[in-house]
Amino acid sequence: MTKEKREILIFLIFTLAVLITPLFLRGSYYLNVLVFIGINTMLAIALNLLLGYAGQISLGHAAFFGLGAYISGILTTRFSFDPWLAMIISALMSGGLAFIIGFPILKLKGHYLAMATLGFGIIMFIIFNETVALTGGPSGLSGIPNIHINSLVFDNDLNNYYLIWVITLMVMLLSINLSQSRIGRALRAIHDSEVAARVMGVNARVLKVQIFAVSALISAVAGSLYAHTMTFISPASFGFNFSIELVTMVIIGGLGSIYGSFLGAAILTVLPEFLRVLQDFDIVVYGLMLILMTMFMPGGLISGLRLIGEAIGSRIKRKSVSNA
């Protein structure tokens, strides 16, 4: 089986699993968790394109998530836009903003880039809080309409599950395609040696800005979906802590792996339920996980799974050889 065919097969199996999972679930609690995992998967993939592939850190990605949520929420509640149209506008505006700020910001490297994106996240958080007339300020924006397709309204957990996951699967597929193309290779080349990538004809400066914009656009789509499924948003969901959580998802799942982003998102979505007893100290656990992961499994959980898979694979092969 060629690498390409195996990749398609894995995606089909994953899709099938996503589609049939609700058949095995009773009650709305688990569906609700899975909706969040879907949203977080989109966000982790978005950040992974930037961090895992291009090797550029962003400590302010929650801001693009928030921007998508607020633009969509404001357009629908205050200006009666259709949610779909609002989603498209919020995605384009967020991507556009990232494109504009990307040129100066992505000239920076390493710690400086981390600080600049951190600053951007903080500024956006302040804007979400302070522009009360538009955003509702700290008390939030409520009454955001559900998405609908004709008479099909996405207002219950099962419908939301399919809405979120169909779009998540699309994001996954497009990102996998992108990562395996000349653009994906150019991004990884920039990651490994920006100088050599440029000498090979890769316009690193523009490509980094483009992928930053794509990343912001995907994050905004996730934000818009979040707003329309929750029907209520407040700044607390889009702060610094969440930006760090997103980085944690990407690193724990596996830098440069789309399925890794799903794994990381799933773990970091479920974990808080168990860490509730720790209250605000849950971030300490994330910190510890990050440290342990970078020390002992720098490829993330996905690389661990791959190793186990390979071990089992070679074991089976050996057995079939000895049986023959």
Partner 1 sequence: MLRIDGITKIFGGLTALEDVSLFVNKGSITGVIGPNGAGKTTLFNIVTGLYTQTSGDVYLEEKNISLYAPEVLAGLGLVRTFQNVELFGQMTVLENVMVGLHTKSKSGIISCSFKLPGQIKEERYIKEKALHWLEYTGMADAAEIKANNLPFGKGRLLEISRALAVEPKLILMDEPAAGLNSRETSALANLIRKIRESGITIVLVEHDMELVMDICDSIVVLNLGKKLAEGTPREIQENPAVISAYLGES
Which residues of this protein are in contact with partner 1, per CB under 8 A?
Answer: 174-175, 177-178, 181-186, 188-189, 191-193, 195-204, 210-211, 214, 256
Minimum CB–partner distance for residue 26 and partner 1 (Å): 37
Minimum CB–partner distance for residue 157 and partner 1 (Å): 30
Minimum CB–partner distance for residue 186 and partner 1 (Å): 6
Instruction: Give me the helix-helix angle, 110-130 and 240-253, nearest 10°.
Output: 140
Minimum CB–partner distance for residue 297 and partner 1 (Å): 16
Q: Which of 63, 57, 66 is nearest to 247 (CA)?
A: 57
Are the beta carbons of 157 and 245 closer than 8 angstroms?
no
Q: Which of 264, 217, 199, 243 is nearest to 57 (CA)?
A: 243
Q: Which of 64, 11, 32 is nearest to 217 (CA)?
A: 64
Minimum CB–partner distance for residue 185 and partner 1 (Å): 5
Q: Smaller CB distance to partner 1: residue 131 or 193?
A: 193
Q: Smaller CB distance to partner 1: residue 139 or 181?
A: 181
Minimum CB–partner distance for residue 192 and partner 1 (Å): 4
Minimum CB–partner distance for residue 2 and partner 1 (Å): 12
Q: Smaller CB distance to partner 1: residue 94 or 243?
A: 94
Q: Smaller CB distance to partner 1: residue 34 or 218?
A: 218
Instruction: Give the Cβ contact number of residue 298 at 10 Å.
Output: 11
Instruction: Give the Cβ contact number of residue 79 at 10 Å.
Output: 8
Q: Smaller CB distance to partner 1: residue 135 or 215?
A: 215
Q: Smaller CB distance to partner 1: residue 49 or 62?
A: 49
Q: What is the C-alpha separation between 263 and 163, in angstroms, rounded? A: 20
Distances (CA, A) of 41 to 109, 227, 231: 26, 16, 20
Q: Smaller CB distance to partner 1: residue 73 or 256?
A: 256
Minimum CB–partner distance for residue 227 and partner 1 (Å): 24
Cross-strand pairs, 148? 153
Centroid of chain to Cα 57: 14
Q: Smaller CB distance to partner 1: residue 170 or 236?
A: 170
Minimum CB–partner distance for residue 178 and partner 1 (Å): 5
Q: Smaller CB distance to partner 1: residue 54 or 124?
A: 54
